[in-house]
Amino acid sequence: MHAPEPHIVIQRFGETHLEGVAALYNDPAVCRQVLQMPFQSVEAWRNKLVTDNERRLQLVAVHGGEVIGQLGLEQYPRVRRAHVGSFGMGVAPAWQGKGVGSRLLAAALDVADNWMNLRRVELTVYADNEAAHHLYRKFGFEVEGRMRDYALRDGVFVDTLSMARLRQSA
């Protein structure tokens, strides 16, 4: 007998999620896998909400009132790059490998494809983050290149991979 699926809800990121999102990215295990600085304030996340527009989709995964994941997708504002968006995401360590990232990414790509008309969605991911690579490949992302010494993490410069997914025309 299988354990019941946890009730996870994907919602648009709003005021009620501010403290949970700040706590998510302040978790050292999450912070070291994203480009956020440690010790993010609730106010910093509130400012991201204030600058919200229709070219930006911000989602959260919630379980029992607790934020367990977040994804931000942004369409590029330049006219010649309007078919392109990029995203970043974080999932609470206790929820990694349990489908939260898949649920967030599926929801974001549905909006990217069917509402924003994005042909290309791109991201950067640390070269040693195998779990993320697997997730992104599952959704059709391919590695396009390696960027050496891309970011400082734990006092050491580390490489990232550039990945993208091209939506095929129907």
Task: Please state, for a pLDDT cut of 90, what percent of the chain lies above it.
Answer: 79
What pLDDT band is residue 5 in, cutting at 50, 70 and 90? low
Average pLDDT for the chain: 92
**Domain span including residue 69:** 9-119
Number of domains in the chain: 1
pLDDT digits over 36-86, tens only? 888 889 998 888 887 668 899 999 999 999 999 999 999 999 999 999 999
> Above 90 in pLDDT, residue 168?
no
Whether residue 159 lies inside any domain: the answer is no
Whether residue 59 lies inside any domain: the answer is yes
pLDDT, residue 37, reads 84
Contacts of 45 (CB under 8 A, 6+ apart): 18, 21, 22
CA atoms within 13 A on the CB side of 166: 5
pLDDT digits over 92-114, tens only? 999 999 999 999 999 999 999 99
Map residue 13 onto helix, strand or coil.
coil
Whether residue 62 lies inside any domain: the answer is yes
pLDDT, residue 49, reads 80
Whether residue 43 lies inside any domain: the answer is yes
Whether residue 88 lies inside any domain: the answer is yes
For residue 66, give the CATH number of its domain. Answer: 3.40.630.30
Whether residue 161 lies inside any domain: the answer is no
The 156-166 sheet, strands edge to edge: 9-12, 56-63, 66-75, 84-91, 120-126, 156-166, 142-153
Whether residue 110 lies inside any domain: the answer is yes
Which residue in 87, 89, 82 sits closest to 119, CA to CA?
82
